Amino acid sequence: AQSVTQLGSHVSVSEGALVLLRCNYSSSVPPYLFWYVQYPNQGLQLLLKYTSAATLVKGINGFEAEFKKSETSFHLTKPSAHMSDAAEYFCAVSAPNDYKLSFGAGTTVTVRA
Amino acid sequence: ETGVTQTPRHLVMGMTNKKSLKCEQHLGHNAMYWYKQSAKKPLELMFVYNFKEQTENNSVPSRFSPECPNSSHLFLHLHTLQPEDSALYLCASSQALLAGGRYNEQFFGPGTRLTVL
């Protein structure tokens, strides 16, 4: 079985500051890992995914995440926050041959001017 | 525009009402999903359809009844709901699921915000 834990339900950053969202996973098989973003009144949009290729994954809107097997982590970062990054972010995990996604509880990001 | 639309966007219903949620995808996919998103809880997968056949029912109460008449449309029929069923219901679609096949990216609709009084 697979699961993820997102550390921190809410993160507040200043515009231009580093955004760091933490995700740790538990998986009995090599995992596939994902970050989704949900803007207010919208559905989830895939930011990036790790599917056992390069451990540093670059996504849309300047986000990237690094898969660290030794730490069972897949933290999401963006060097410089923009006001438009205010949203809820979800980490998710699946097994390689399974369509089912297990989501974390989400982290809400607010950006201060 | 994600290519997955959901109607209505907001719904308020009493516990004795019957209503339906509709999802339509314009992406040429063959798999469709219903999720429930409650405040501060992980998304819960409810149902999965692959080529119009239900392949997953995640122990969902019978007061939720899905219907998939074709690969582009998915419905969730609601009856005698409880206040704890109030949530955001998300529809998603993906390429067809193949036995032993790899993950296919899921594309989500904007959801229906349901309130049960």
Q: What is the pLDDT of residues B12-64, one digit of tens each?
A: 998 888 999 999 999 999 899 999 999 878 899 999 998 888 888 889 999 99
Asked if residue A28 has pLDDT above 90, the reply is no
Q: Which of A67-71, A103-107, B61-65, B94-98 has the lowest mean pLDDT?
A: B94-98
**DSSP-assigned beta bridge partners for residue B20:** B77
Confidence of residue A1 (pLDDT cuts 50, 70, 90): confident
Question: In chain A, count of helices (H) and strands (E)?
Answer: 0, 11
CB A95, CB A27: distance < 8 Å: yes
* CA B49 to each of CA A81, B57, B92, B104: distance values in angstroms, whole numbers, following the listed order: 38, 9, 10, 14
Q: What is the pLDDT of residues B82-101, one digit of tens each?
A: 999 999 999 999 987 776 55
pLDDT at B81: 93
Contact map slice: A 19-78 vs B, CB within 8 A: 32, 36, 41-46, 49, 51
* CA A8 to each of CA A23, A24, B112: distance values in angstroms, whole numbers, following the listed order: 9, 12, 26
CA distance B100 to chain A (A): 5
Taking the CB of residue B104, how many other CB atoms lie within 10 A of it? Answer: 16
Give me the phi and psi of B42, to 5 degrees please. -60, 150
CB contact under 8 A, A99 and B103: yes
Contact map slice: B 57-96 vs A, CB within 8 A: 90, 92, 94
